[in-house]
Amino acid sequence: MKSPDSGNCQAMKFESAMSDTEYTSSQTNSTPEHLVSGVPTSLSPQEVASLVPMPALLAQLGFMVNERTRRSQCILCAAHNPTTFSWRPDGRWHCFRCNAGGDRIGLVRGVLQCGFREAMRVLCGLAGVADPKNVEFRGPTPEEKRRLDRLKRAAQEYQILENAEQLRQTDELRRVERLGMLAADRLLHLRSGPQERFCNEEDLAWDALTLSHRERVPLLAAYLIMSFSSEEDRQQFVLYPRRRTKLIDDCIWRGGVITDTGAFVELAL
């Protein structure tokens, strides 16, 4: 962890670096009237942040920017893995090593170890919004508040669905594996001599073993998808039941799933 002092120092260095480099954005040349120095802006902090393109922000903060993979090393936890930090053009980001994540404002605060106002000063500078020292941000409108609440609720509901699906897939897999084991045990036992307990017991045990074997592969694939695959694949699996067959087929065809960090988890048959 950096001490608050070294954080401030870093923020100051960053600021001077910003004034040294001739950073220009599309906003710089035509500052809207309501953003003139000293006048309260009609933009919310999120709106100001959204004016800064992620590649430009990441580059300013010291990340190696790869716009194709949208992956890089994580400055927050000084990870050397070049794919551990993942970002999206809409400003969301996540590090799969230190588990930090958030929006543009959170990223600036995390990297520069600074508070909200300092982070907004930096973002205003990058967005070309007036004199960042004098900008007053407006709070969220009632409509924005309601939208945020709706999003929070949806995220909570989704998390419940995902957990339930993960448990269901684990249970199904265990059930089928147990059936296969019981059938195999019984067949071995019958071979050693005892009579069938009921007519056609051996045939039934073979059927159960076949069924368990046939069901196990797609169930194992579904279990792998829900437990290890990328966030995007898990969401597809949970939210769109019609796409499950294709996800399972892909997993079987590929022989495993690819995790969010790019690692491969093998489908061990």
Q: Which is nearer to Zn ion, 100 or 182 (CB)?
A: 100
> What is the separation, in whole angstroms, between the first and last Cα of the chain?
44
Q: Which is nearer to Zn ion, 77 or 217 (CB)?
A: 77
Q: Which is nearer to Zn ion, 54 or 127 (CB)?
A: 54
Contact 85, 63 (CB under 8 A): yes
**Nearest distance from residue 109's CB to Zn ion, in Å?**
14
Q: Please, where are the H alpha helices in 116-260?
A: 116-127, 142-191, 201-228, 231-239, 244-254
**Nearest distance from residue 95's CB to Zn ion, in Å?**
3
- CA 84-88-90 angle, to 5 degrees, is 150
Q: Which is nearer to Zn ion, 105 or 225 (CB)?
A: 105
Q: Which is nearer to Zn ion, 38 or 62 (CB)?
A: 62
Q: Which is nearer to Zn ion, 95 or 257 (CB)?
A: 95
Beta bridge partners of 257: 265
**Which tokens belong to 153?**
């609720």
Closest among 24, 31, 78 to 53, alpha carbons compared: 24
Beta bridge partners of 266: 256
**Nearest distance from residue 70's CB to Zn ion, in Å?**
15
**Nearest distance from residue 12's CB to Zn ion, in Å?**
23
**Nearest distance from residue 96's CB to Zn ion, in Å?**
8
Binding site for Zn ion (CB under 5 A): 74, 76-77, 95, 97-98
Amino acid at 50: S
User: Residue 101: which H helix or E strand, with range?
Assistant: strand 101-102
**Which tokens belong to 90?**
């809409």
**Nearest distance from residue 159's CB to Zn ion, in Å?**
22
* CA distances, 204 to each of 179, 198, 222 (Å): 12, 10, 27
What is the rounded distance in angstroms from the CA atom of residue 94 to the CA atom of residue 71? 10
